[in-house]
Structure 1
Amino acid sequence: MRRRRFLALAAAFACAPGLARAETWRGFALGAEVSVTLEGPPRETHRTLADIPAMLDRIEDLFSLYRETSSLSRLNGSGHLRRPDKRFLALMRQADAAHRLTGGLFDPTVQPLWHAHATGADTAWAQSLVAWRRVRFDAAGIVLGRHQALTFNGIAQGYATDLVCDLLRQRGFTRTLVDIGEQAALGGPYRLGLADPVFGAVGQRSVTDGAIATSSPGALRLGTAHHILGPHGEDPLWSTVSIEAASATLADALSTAAVFMPLERLQRLKADAALTRITVIDASGRLRSL
């Protein structure tokens, strides 16, 4: 997966003197640079951070488009997947919820359209394949419509972020910041910089026990198209959208779809999804916060 957003950066601990030392692990997963900053006793933090690479590798085995043996690649190749891993099924349910919350603007079946734009293939035919309603899934299996394929490039990084946070919480940690293209915090506050691919650094946000996800359509181009594609040919309305929510999975998916929503629709989304904040940057560089 190519990184689809120009993201918030320069996360910093707001530590007071006398608190335990923070340790950071850095790597790469799901098309994003990854960092996990963990505060606690050195022995416990070292041991836990050492487990992060293997965990991320298992997540890639589920959701990577570029591993031929991943669950997603096998689903796209055959059109069906029997008895999906419980985490895969959980993400399908999260994607379905995001699809409904956004009135269909979040749609993982855009993968053939994305591929057509990237390779110069027939986009009209690929557009006809975009329809989440044709996908069937339950614990027994997942079945795609004919010629369909899925991408979780607008939600998997957030889901991976939440999975890592869940692991750290289970091990008793209460102060950590996880960044897998989206950011989620246990404890805090942590200060995050908000950046736009055109206008650069435009502001800062502080997060405590929550998540932030940021999407910028102009961060990558597919020929003449933006790399965040509207499922029905919608054009992006914002240069950058940043969403703060209780989970990184929800923030990730909704920030992807929110780039196509006017302000009044964003207001409804904020209420419907119980979001903490939506920040948008328009084509002139103006920042607005809901």
Structure 2
Amino acid sequence: MTRFSRRRFIAMSAATLAAGRASAAGREVAYWRGQALGARAEIAVCGISQAEAASLFDGLELELSRIESLFSLYRTDSALAQLNRDQILRNPDPAMLHLLSEARAVFTATEGAFDPTVQPLFDLHARAFGEGRRVGADEVQHARRRVGFQHVSLSPQAIRFQRGGMALTLNGIAQGYATDRLASLLKSAGLRHILVNAGEIRALGDGQGQGWRVSIPGGRTVTLKDHAIATSDVVGTLVDPAAGIGHIFDPRRDAQLTSGPASICHDSAAIADAASTAAVLMSPSERDLLRPLGAKIVGSAGIRS
């Protein structure tokens, strides 16, 4: 299958990345850049030199490798690939259960707008595009019969699909999870002023003294402190460019909304990631369902723009 990376719209601001080690607050800044789950990843850590950060960054790379081994759709040896192939994953890693439990919470709160079992729809359209043909309505309905997170059972003994031919994608939450994990590891090492971008962004502390500034769609910037932010857009990546089919599929209806990108903030990058994925599929009134999760549309209290 052709690999389609999920396009991300949030990035560390150029001002932050260009600041170098000197800052108004007198803090050194160490940087790391690499890849995480198919997305560009960047980390900025205040209060430590590049040399001092080297061993920490080596540890983060090991953690990213572990995360890839669990959640990557494109590694044939990942736990997720095994689950999709075998329809069951026995004795799953606790991290897999944790992430799927968080996904289930967002699935329930959004009344199914966020549903990681939409992978059969993605596969159908990607395959048809590769074959140079349009997808038929009967094919879509057949794929939809294999969608529904309520048909996935979770337990420490096994994760099991209860309908044949189901498949999961964690692209709408795993990058947020990776962001949270890297931030947590750095915090546990005693660091307090951190910006992590592993496909989604999480900021801890106040950066160089005035918070961490990041850019979002529309040319806006927001200042983050102890928050995460995620942006999704249905047409951010096109699975079928000829038909204008985006990479985020609505599990509840056939038509794809074109409401534009949605930026969500939360204490957790994983929840922000999943909530933004749901938000682009929801009407304005349906977005009220995000409030019990603590997810906020950018511009709400707690974020300065």
Q: TM-score, normalised by structure 1?
A: 0.89
CA RMSD of aligned residues (A): 2.0
Q: Which residue of 2 aligns with 1:274?
A: 294
Deviations 1:46-93 (A, max 9, x none): 221222221111100000011111000111110001111111110010
Q: Which residue of 2 aligns with 1:193?
A: 215
- Between the aligned partners of 1:59 and 1:215, the Cα distance in structure 2 is 21
Map 1:5-154 onto structure 2 (within 5 A): 5-11=7-13, 12-13=15-16, 16-42=23-49, 43-120=51-128, 122-144=139-161, 145-154=163-172
Deviations 1:247-290 (A, max 9, x none): 00000001001001122222342x211224346xxxxxxxxx9x
**Comparing 202-211 and 249-258, the one that deviates more:** 202-211
Q: Which residue of 2 aligns with 1:253?
A: 274
Q: Give secondary structure in 1 for the equivalent of 2:33.
A: strand
For residue 67 of structure 2, what is the amino acid of its counterpart?
A: I
Mapped contact 1:5–1:214 kept (Cα < 8 A): no
- Between the aligned partners of 2:77 and 2:127, the Cα distance in structure 1 is 23
- Between the aligned partners of 1:240 and 1:47, the Cα distance in structure 2 is 37
Deviations 1:120-158 (A, max 9, x none): 163221111111111001111100121111000100000
Q: Which residue of 1 aligns with 2:132?
A: none
Mapped contact 1:2–1:31 kept (Cα < 8 A): no
Aligned length: 275
Deviations 1:154-202 (A, max 9, x none): 000000100111111111110010001100011121111112xxxxx43
Mapped contact 1:27–1:35 kept (Cα < 8 A): yes
Task: Please state how far the C-alpha of 1:20 moved relative to its aligned partner.
Answer: 2.4
- Between the aligned partners of 2:26 and 2:102, the Cα distance in structure 1 is 36
- Between the aligned partners of 2:167 and 2:289, the Cα distance in structure 1 is 30
User: Alpha carbons of 1:278 and 1:237: their partners in 2 closer, same or farther (altered >3 Å)?
Assistant: farther
Mapped contact 2:175–2:200 kept (Cα < 8 A): yes
- Between the aligned partners of 2:115 and 2:202, the Cα distance in structure 1 is 23
Mapped contact 1:63–1:152 kept (Cα < 8 A): yes
Mapped contact 1:5–1:217 kept (Cα < 8 A): no
- Between the aligned partners of 1:41 and 1:182, the Cα distance in structure 2 is 23
1:227 aligns with 2:247: yes
- Between the aligned partners of 1:84 and 1:173, the Cα distance in structure 2 is 31
Q: Which residue of 1 aligns with 2:228?
A: 211
Unaligned runs of 5+ in 2: 129-134
Mapped contact 2:30–2:48 kept (Cα < 8 A): no
Q: Give secondary structure in 2 for the equivalent of 1:7.
A: coil
User: Alpha carbons of 1:96 and 1:21: their partners in 2 closer, same or farther (altered >3 Å)?
Assistant: same
Q: Give secondary structure in 2 for the equivalent of 1:72.
A: helix
